[in-house]
């Protein structure tokens, strides 16, 4: 069976984290008018779809992933008129807009929760999940993604409510048909405004295992996959949303999938499932997360990454679809985590770009990757803003980790690594704001900024542009099959994309060492590379090459 051809398989996503993209009014917070000012910059890169992290009204406990009014624009970001101007600007440039929606939980400042907590018999009580405690303790031993118990006690009604994230993010009760109806109406509201699709935050978590039994699983990754995700009615709910609303629009839907495994992936994105178009699985992103999560690191490497890419390719086959990405607003900068942000920063940024844009799946580029932006190392925990970081700082330092030790873990694994402001130029605060930024700019903006990068024809930006243009031309990179070519060194990632039109060979050396390979290059034309190498029988450190025949 050949793969169905779809625009959302061919087009490339560019993720904007609005708070950190561009501030137009000097309050130190990125906003919609700031994005509008940069639409030509984004278009010039050659991407097609803009994924906007949430811009709805929110108290910002989790930077907008705690929504208090799903039909409004947060005043810090602008007005609904600004939104309409942005959408129009995106469409006028031949691009599309993907909105980020969070339906597993709302903010505790949402009117629904304000009502629900008033009394046991409040009409909105069952919009959320309430349980009696056990002898003064929470109903079970579930833990939040952001540390501590997944339950918070509400004294007024002497019950606990579930929050898999912060206590200001109470989980919505999807068992309640009224909640589902509200959600489908919100989805329709935004689709009728003309947006082109949704990224659905933590969608595999929406169906809870109603026995709410304690878990004996040690590793948090296992708890996510086996207790929080893939619950008994998750497909019934997503399918209902599809039948009620999604199917009536030419849109794309991508589910963020913590806990979705290769065994369960097709259940969400199989072409015959009438659920989602694709998922952002997080298997490679969660690599290195020990029993207590990301700040309890365990070793991993490229062998694990390549194994996962192979397993997901096998799992999807021609029947499903995933997105290919190596970072987003929740994970460290890919050039620091998977590349080399020192000597080979530019080369490795280009190598990662070639990988993301040549594997099979909808490629997703996070803002700043096109500049080769890297992780930040703030001197003090006070410089950090992420609620996940602060919650775990408290939890770890209260259980024996020194503040300095934890700060080093934040440098490596914290989400604020990707949330420092976009680095536009060398002026104060990297041209992100004329005010005081909500989070400090990475001090390396003097060396890494869009103005300098755009002036350098050999920069990461133009390498992305060339790759994006090549990908548009060569549909083999979209629909072609994929196979790994075994090589002697585990530092090499060599694979082919192929169909009846052509063969595209990609050769990546994701290491600091030169390696020989034994691929026969006869008949292949070199189309793109990130460095000069006179000896094609070798791959230099962080060298990437793309051939076609």
Residue with tokens 């809870």: 208
Q: Which residue, 21 or 113, has its beta carbon nearer to Ca ion?
A: 21
Please give the Cα distance from 19 to 33 (Å, whole number): 12
Site string for ligand TEU, 254-283 (x = CB under 6 A): --x-x-----------------------x-
Q: Does 366 bind ligand TEU (CB under 6 A)?
A: no
Cα–Cα distance for residue pair 463/296, rounded to 1 Å:
35
Q: To the nearest 5 percent, what fractions of the chain are helix, strand and coil?
A: 35, 15, 50
The least CB distance from residue 282 to ligand TEU, in Å, is: 6
* Residue 25 interacts with which of ligand TEU, Ca ion, none, CB < 5 to 8 Å by class: Ca ion
The torsion angles phi and psi of 149, rounded to 5 degrees, stand at -70, 155
Residue whose CB is less far from Ca ion, 29 or 206? 29
β-bridge mates for residue 13, sequence order: 49, 364
C-alpha dihedral over 322, 326, 327, 331, to 10 degrees?
100
The residue (of 327 and 496) whose beta carbon lies closer to ligand TEU is: 327
To the nearest whole angstrom, how small is the minimum distance from the Cβ of residue 427 to Ca ion?
16
For residue 256, indicate whether it is catalytic: yes
Kindly list the residues in this chain that would bind Ca ion in the complex (CB under 5 A): 23, 25, 27, 29, 31
| H or E element in which residue 472 lies | helix 460-473
Hey, what are 116's tokens?
């629900």
Interface with ligand TEU (CB under 6 A), residue total 15
Instruction: Return the number of the residue (201 or 491) whose C-beta is nearest ligand TEU.
Output: 201
Could you say which of 23, 240, 330, 341 contacts ligand TEU (CB under 6 A)? 330
**How far apart are alpha carbons 262 and 92 in whole angstroms?**
38
**Strand, coil or helix: 85:** helix
Smallest distance from the beta carbon of 319 to ligand TEU, in angstroms?
25
Residue nearest to ligand TEU (CB): 65
- Which one, of 146, 413, 417, 394, lies nearest residue 297 by Cα? 413
User: For ligand TEU, which residue of 65, 432, 461, 479 counts as binding (CB under 6 A)?
Assistant: 65
202 binds ligand TEU (CB under 6 A): yes
Taking the C-alpha atoms of residue 306 and residue 490, their distance in angstroms, rounded to an integer, is: 10
Q: Decide whether 31 or 496 has the Cβ nearer to Ca ion.
A: 31
102 interface partner picked from Ca ion, ligand TEU, none, CB below 5 to 8 A per type: ligand TEU
Residue 496 exposure: Cα atoms within 13 Å on the Cβ side? 14
Of residues 171, 197, 60, the one with CA closest to residue 116: 171
SS (H, E, C) 220-238: HHHHHHHHHCCCCCHHHHH
DSSP code of 314? H
Report the C-alpha gap between 72 and 409 in whole angstroms. 36
Which of the residues 405 through 424 are near ligand TEU (CB under 6 A)? Answer: 415
Considering the complex, what minimum distance in angstroms separates the CB of residue 43 from Ca ion? 22
Q: From the candidates 201, 275, 283, 491, which is the catalytic residue?
A: 201
In degrees, to the nearest 5, what angle opens at C-alpha 238 toward C-alphas 237 and 243? Answer: 95
Q: Is 220 a residue that touches ligand TEU (CB under 6 A)?
A: no
Give the three-class secondary structure for 98: strand
Q: Which does 145 bind (CB under 5 to 8 A by kind): ligand TEU, Ca ion, none?
A: ligand TEU
Instruction: Tell me the two tokens of residue 3.
Output: 């793969």
Question: CB 104 → ligand TEU: shortest distance, Å?
Answer: 7
- 76 is known as an active-site residue: no
Query: From residue 20 to residue 59, what is the string marking binding to ligand TEU with x (rule CB under 6 A)?
Result: ----------------------------------------
Q: Which of 11, 256, 388, 543 is catalytic?
A: 256
- For ligand TEU, what does the binding mask look like between residues 99 and 128, x meaning CB under 6 A? ---x--------------------------
| Binding flag, residue 145, ligand TEU (CB under 6 A) | yes
62 binds, among ligand TEU, Ca ion, none (CB under 5 to 8 A by kind): ligand TEU
Picked from Ca ion, ligand TEU, none, the partner binding residue 330 (CB below 5 to 8 A depending on kind) is: ligand TEU
Q: Is 285 left (phi over 0), alpha (psi -120 to 50) or beta?
A: alpha
Which residues have CB under 8 Å from 191's CB, separation 6+? 245, 249, 251
The residues of the shown chain that bind ligand TEU, judged by CB under 6 A, are 62, 65, 102, 145, 165, 201-202, 256, 258, 282, 294, 329-330, 388, 415
Catalytic residue set: 201, 256
């Amino acid at each position: 069976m050949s793969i169905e051809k779809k625009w959302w398989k061919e087009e490339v996503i560019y993720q904007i984290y609005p708070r950190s993209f561009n501030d137009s009014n000097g309050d130190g917070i990125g906003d919609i008018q700031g994005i509008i000012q940069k639409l030509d910059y984004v278009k010039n890169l050659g991407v097609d779809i803009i994924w906007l992290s949430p811009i709805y009204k929110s108290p910002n406990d989790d930077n907008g992933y705690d929504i208090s009014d799903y039909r409004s624009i947060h005043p810090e970001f602008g007005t609904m008129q600004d939104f309409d101007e942005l959408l129009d600007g995106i469409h006028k440039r031949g691009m599309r807009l993907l909105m980020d929606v969070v339906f597993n939980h709302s903010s505790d400042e949402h009117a629904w929760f304000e009502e629900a907590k008033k009394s046991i018999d409040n009409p909105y009580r069952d919009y959320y999940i309430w349980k009696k405690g056990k002898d003064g303790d929470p109903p079970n031993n579930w833990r939040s993604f952001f540390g501590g118990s997944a339950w918070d006690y509400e004294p007024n009604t002497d019950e606990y409510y579930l929050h898999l994230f912060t206590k200001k993010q109470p989980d919505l009760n999807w068992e309640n048909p009224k909640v589902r109806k509200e959600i489908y109406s919100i989805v329709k509201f935004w689709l009728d405004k003309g947006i082109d699709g949704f990224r659905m935050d933590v969608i595999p978590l929406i169906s809870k295992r109603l026995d709410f039994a304690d878990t004996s699983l040690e590793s948090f990754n296992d708890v996510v996959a086996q207790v929080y995700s893939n619950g008994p009615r998750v497909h019934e709910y997503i399918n209902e949303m599809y039948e009620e609303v999604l199917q009536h629009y030419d849109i794309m839907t991508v589910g963020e999938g913590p806990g979705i495994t290769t065994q369960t992936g097709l259940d969400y994105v199989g072409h015959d499932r009438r659920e989602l178009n694709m998922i952002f699985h997080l298997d490679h992103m969660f690599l290195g997360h020990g029993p207590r999560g990301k700040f309890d690191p365990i070793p991993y490497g490229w062998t694990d990454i390549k194994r996962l890419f192979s397993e997901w390719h096998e799992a999807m086959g021609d029947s499903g679809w995933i997105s290919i990405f190596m970072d987003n607003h929740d994970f460290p900068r890919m050039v620091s985590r998977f590349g080399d942000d020192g000597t080979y920063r530019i080369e490795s940024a280009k190598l990662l770009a070639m990988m993301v844009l040549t594997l099979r799946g909808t490629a997703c580029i996070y803002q700043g990757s096109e500049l080769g932006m890297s992780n930040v190392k703030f001197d003090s925990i006070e410089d950090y803003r992420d609620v996940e970081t602060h919650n775990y700082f408290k939890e770890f330092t209260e259980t024996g980790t020194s503040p300095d030790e934890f700060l080093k873990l934040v440098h490596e694994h914290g989400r604020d690594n990707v949330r420092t402001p976009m680095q536009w130029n060398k002026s104060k605060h990297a041209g992100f704001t004329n005010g005081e930024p909500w989070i400090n700019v990475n001090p390396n903006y003097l060396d890494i900024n869009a103005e300098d990068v755009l002036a350098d024809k050999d920069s990461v930006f133009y390498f992305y542009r060339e790759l994006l243009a090549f990908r548009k031309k060569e549909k083999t990179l979209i629909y072609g099959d994929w196979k790994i070519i075994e090589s002697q060194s585990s530092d090499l990632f060599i694979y082919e994309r192929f169909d009846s039109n052509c063969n595209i060979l990609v050769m990546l050396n994701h290491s600091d060492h030169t390696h020989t390979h034994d691929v026969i290059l006869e008949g292949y034309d070199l189309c793109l590379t990130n460095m000069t190498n006179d000896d094609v029988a070798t791959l230099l450190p962080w060298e990437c090459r793309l051939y076609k025949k």
